[in-house]
Structure 1
């Protein structure tokens, strides 16, 4: 990570595009005779008019939900609602047990870390919405908070190397957001209003309508928050709409997403400043914003034993920042286009089912930066081919193997580099049910990550050179025991990484640090995930991760990587009885090295912390009223600090909000 990392945002103008899109969608719904319906199921169109749930992340095609990806974590829409969560990033952290640290910019997009990759955790995982990659090729966090929470059907988290199917950055795993699809010949919707402490105000609306072979949905959300810390006030406005045409053997659709946000940039505090007043801002006048728009066309078609699918997606992002503290201004313009056609052949012969998948991923990405300190540009082109085969024996055993080859070009006229290269990925997976209640599994393979344009632009290498691709050799062994009401999953994992891409504060020609290919490293640990239905009304769940991230060779051999807590534990209790429900969670995070402490010489560590959140809700006919609290103990703590006892970004203090929801 670069310590000069900017947060290119601006004060957003009035989003006329959002108002126009909302007006068009609602007018279309009214013209087509929208009538509400209360009970809905969602998924692919079925012969009886209902829509069955599907799992898509295992093979990039819809699959049998009873046979999900190996050791996947699934977060449902019901769990999200009952926990009082209003954005996908928070759901992944609290309900999925994924570690996240306070963002230094942006309203709700905490950088996430699946397997101990520290400050580059979110660059070592791939985030997708309905199969379309939203992970940024910039040095920024995926905009999960821009996904309307009311549209999410579920979130699938698959930990471990996944580069065969999803390419660069999937060493830590993948996070797949699956959105809702309306029922044929019916409609439904919801309206939500929220108000809370620290100036919280938010409103959301979602509406969907389906006909015999067509559906349309739309969602709109607007939120304002003064936030706990000074100069972290934020405003967000998001709109999305999807139009689909479908039949029993095909589906085609168009999806548009518009996101706007502006917010303050409070800066990092020294330890003395944090202890004196963690709510203060180091940079009280800095601010930024983003405009992020995307449109996607998607297609699925079945021809007997063959399925074909494709997504064509285009994203444009304008981001600006004004650093009054340093008299610096910045604007970046990003354009990204992806095309991902693929084909699947399924052959069933007796007790054996064979699934063969072949696909192509094409991507083109361009960045232009205009800044007070100089202009720059960058471009990346990539084309990849992958092949994956999975054999299922009597719905009891699975063996899968896959390979991927990606060719890419990275270039910049301003930084004077241009490089063509290629990288490979492969994996081998197997699972077997020793008894009906116990399934063992194992995964091994090779995954990779390419350096971003920002990383290549400040790498400390001679002019014209860029960072090498990061390559990881992955291994995972585990087992799942139990049933839907009582289940425990245990995993041991190891990632041996060569040329890990990381900001090295000791690198660079003049001692100011630089993005570098590190000496060999190892990320190794265990993960436990369990849930238990104690009674008909009470369910308990927990996740635990222990990870050791260390150098294995070089001058720092045996020393810990920075910003990686060795232990994390999350527990939740959910109670539901009649028209009432309650949900509470405790999260503990171990101490960790400060961001600059590569030599492990800083006398102090970032302290461990524990947080508590809870929610109570009551339903009255079509209404639901809820009271939600986060960090209820009011603890002052931090998880993001880039220098030894300095550059600290405090986490939010206690917050309480009241929510009213109406379903129709």
Structure 2
């Protein structure tokens, strides 16, 4: 098996070393970053940015957005203790808490939760997405609280596509999705939805029951050009999930059969309903006013434990934008009111912010400067409360070296406030003590080179952190608590390259090297100074080889590798078991005509076992067996 994996990587490296001869059929070009504070060409961006288009997502034939992020981008996605619908994300070495340091938005609406539950990206059908923009170590000014590692912006379609897709797979997988859009000069209207189920890959008891899962999601969006100057919009989305996930295994159990039942299993229902309204008023050719209001209600029902959590989120954002050829300015306010109700308590977290972002271009220089002031406030029924005033800063410069290449440098001062369940016991509302917000100084130096045949990006970064938030898991189970790492730092290298070798062959490579070091932290007489942050792999490699023998057929081979790491709770770096390297090799084939396509995909073709190590003999199997899907898509 190891030889097969090495052979795949060798093949990718060999083909990528060939020189392009004829790339007239497909060409690469700089894309526009549309969801940041100020639109800009990615070649002129002052930030380290990854952009993935609707075409990239469609070609990947993924079952959900997590699979796309994990296989095609520098982001790492891991099922949260086995839950595939709420996965933890990481980039730039934040480890097990990485998802709390990434702000995720969909059409400008924050998806982050006020507790430690990851954002539910499974509620977004891949077929509805127009673009994904990943801004690393930046985005705090507009993204706000939690953008220490960066921001992931998701933009859904607004076009005339009519798409229906269906596939079946191993383990009882069945999925159907649709997108129906209409757009003219006055009106845009769309509806999209997806339903998926599977019979599971693990046993949860001795009666043959498995960790079966199912979800459904839908959305409706409307935009109307009421006058020449005024655009109004409305949106509604829903998601319904039911998931059963198994408990951890010992190393002996994992090595013998990762599909066997663990020490426990959980059944959870997780529902979300969102209503949105917005307006855009064009004051003149250069000046625009925007406002968006969102209301989200969510319910998490842990059926196994009879625990129900109800969420009520209200958010408002408004801005005035000025744009000319040389200067762009955005001034705005954000407000967020989040409430979490359980059988024993009501807890709230509120954020209020004002921000300013500017970008100035002259000749071959682009300059960026922005500032954000944000207050956070926490409350429970008993009157226990905490508040904080936080400051975010972004500065950046991009220098064009030629029409195809540029260098950039940016600095960001970012922050992440605590989640509610780090301060309070959710079931009772009991106040457990304050956890200070983490604050980070981010420095990034990068290089871009984009031609018709090659899109190459590289950046090095350094992150200096104070009060990084973590959970101290006391081995004796008596002093465990949420607290802060006094001082820590991270540094690394990101490389991405999309190379059109010829009309038939193309290669995409993502490589990330990271070191995450604890500088100062003593907890319960344990001195972690100089240790590595657990759960962070030094090396993360994703390589994709595409082969198009004719206009209709595409064959894609993808290899993913992450090096070993310390187990998630191993802050002393002395557990006897480490996080194993993660490896998987996937292959897909697509046959497409103008209005239809058929496709098939095999994931983990070498049946590589993978797992998430929390501590010794506490392992959650993930992507540990070969799976396959086959389906078709109709386009009108």
Q: TM-score, normalised by structure 1?
A: 0.85
Question: What residue number does 2:28 align with?
Answer: none
Counterpart pick for 2:474 among 488, 506, 510:
506
The answer as to 2:243 corresponding to 1:263 is: yes
Is contact 1:82–1:615 with CA below 8 Å preserved after alignment? no
Superposed CA deviations along residues 510-561 of structure 1, whole A, max 9, x for unmatched, are 6341111112111111111111100023211101111111111232111011
Distance 1:69 1:300, change over 3 A: farther
Matches within 5 A, 1:383-394: 383-394=352-363
**Cα distance in 2, alignment partners of residues 142 and 463 from structure 1:** 24
Is contact 1:116–1:549 with CA below 8 Å preserved after alignment? yes
Question: What residue number does 1:571 align with?
Answer: 543
Question: What residue number does 2:482 align with?
Answer: 515
Is contact 1:70–1:441 with CA below 8 Å preserved after alignment? yes
The answer as to 2:245 corresponding to 1:272 is: no
The residue matched to 2:578 in structure 1 has which SS?
Answer: coil
Question: What residue number does 1:48 align with?
Answer: none
Matches within 5 A, 1:331-350: 331-348=308-325
Question: What residue number does 2:408 align with?
Answer: 441
**Cα distance in 2, alignment partners of residues 346 and 482 from structure 1:** 25
**Cα distance in 1, alignment partners of residues 82 and 347 from structure 2:** 23
**Cα distance in 1, alignment partners of residues 590 and 272 from structure 2:** 34
**Cα distance in 2, alignment partners of residues 388 and 561 from structure 1:** 33
**Cα distance in 1, alignment partners of residues 416 and 266 from structure 2:** 32
Question: What residue number does 1:430 align with?
Answer: 397
Counterpart pick for 1:144 among 121, 132, 135:
121
**Cα distance in 2, alignment partners of residues 212 and 160 from structure 1:** 38
Is contact 2:514–2:539 with CA below 8 Å preserved after alignment? yes
Matches within 5 A, 1:61-210: 62=39, 67=44, 70-182=47-159, 187-210=160-183
**Cα distance in 1, alignment partners of residues 33 and 228 from structure 2:** 18
The alpha carbon displacement at 1:248 in A equals 6.2
The residue matched to 1:427 in structure 2 has which SS?
Answer: strand
Unaligned residue ranges in structure 2 (runs of 5+): 1-30, 204-209, 522-526
Is contact 2:137–2:412 with CA below 8 Å preserved after alignment? no
**Cα distance in 2, alignment partners of residues 368 and 158 from structure 1:** 33
Counterpart pick for 2:35 among 50, 57, 61:
57
Question: What residue number does 1:631 align with?
Answer: 604
Unaligned residue ranges in structure 1 (runs of 5+): 1-52
The answer as to 2:500 corresponding to 1:494 is: no
Distance 1:54 1:151, change over 3 A: farther
Question: What residue number does 1:613 align with?
Answer: 586
Question: What residue number does 1:540 align with?
Answer: 507
The answer as to 2:567 corresponding to 1:597 is: no
**Cα distance in 1, alignment partners of residues 150 and 98 from structure 2:** 10
Is contact 2:66–2:87 with CA below 8 Å preserved after alignment? yes
The answer as to 2:289 corresponding to 1:308 is: yes
Distance 1:620 1:532, change over 3 A: closer
**Cα distance in 2, alignment partners of residues 347 and 188 from structure 1:** 32
The answer as to 2:448 corresponding to 1:480 is: yes
Q: Which deviates more, 128-137 or 575-584?
A: 575-584
Q: Which runs of 4+ in 1 moved over 4 A?
A: 61-69, 247-250
Superposed CA deviations along residues 150-204 of structure 1, whole A, max 9, x for unmatched, are 210111111113211111110111111111112xxxx441111110101111111
RMSD value over aligned CA atoms?
2.2
The alpha carbon displacement at 1:448 in A equals 0.2
The answer as to 2:560 corresponding to 1:560 is: no
Distance 1:54 1:607, change over 3 A: closer
The answer as to 2:615 corresponding to 1:643 is: yes
**Cα distance in 2, alignment partners of residues 232 and 483 from structure 1:** 47
**Cα distance in 2, alignment partners of residues 501 and 284 from structure 1:** 28
**Cα distance in 2, alignment partners of residues 72 and 484 from structure 1:** 19
The alpha carbon displacement at 1:661 in A equals 1.1
The residue matched to 1:511 in structure 2 has which SS?
Answer: coil
Question: What residue number does 1:234 align with?
Answer: 213
The alpha carbon displacement at 1:137 in A equals 1.7
Distance 1:251 1:344, change over 3 A: same
The alpha carbon displacement at 1:106 in A equals 3.5
The alpha carbon displacement at 1:475 in A equals 0.8
The answer as to 2:187 corresponding to 1:214 is: yes
The residue matched to 1:286 in structure 2 has which SS?
Answer: strand
Q: TM-score, normalised by structure 2?
A: 0.89
The alpha carbon displacement at 1:68 in A equals 5.3
**Cα distance in 1, alignment partners of residues 412 and 161 from structure 2:** 44
The alpha carbon displacement at 1:651 in A equals 2.9
Question: What residue number does 1:45 align with?
Answer: none
The alpha carbon displacement at 1:147 in A equals 0.8
Is contact 1:74–1:157 with CA below 8 Å preserved after alignment? yes
Q: Which deviates more, 292-301 or 648-657?
A: 648-657
The alpha carbon displacement at 1:57 in A equals 2.6
The alpha carbon displacement at 1:67 in A equals 5.0
Distance 1:219 1:111, change over 3 A: same
Is contact 1:69–1:158 with CA below 8 Å preserved after alignment? no
Distance 1:68 1:253, change over 3 A: farther
Matches within 5 A, 1:398-417: 398-413=366-381, 417=384
Distance 1:191 1:281, change over 3 A: same
Q: Which deviates more, 544-553 or 65-74?
A: 65-74
Is contact 1:587–1:612 with CA below 8 Å preserved after alignment? yes
Is contact 1:193–1:659 with CA below 8 Å preserved after alignment? yes
Counterpart pick for 1:289 among 269, 272, 288:
269
Counterpart pick for 1:319 among 297, 300, 303:
300
The residue matched to 1:215 in structure 2 has which SS?
Answer: strand
Q: Which deviates more, 329-338 or 599-608?
A: 599-608
Is contact 1:266–1:281 with CA below 8 Å preserved after alignment? yes
**Cα distance in 2, alignment partners of residues 69 and 243 from structure 1:** 33
**Cα distance in 1, alignment partners of residues 298 and 224 from structure 2:** 29
**Cα distance in 1, alignment partners of residues 39 and 357 from structure 2:** 15
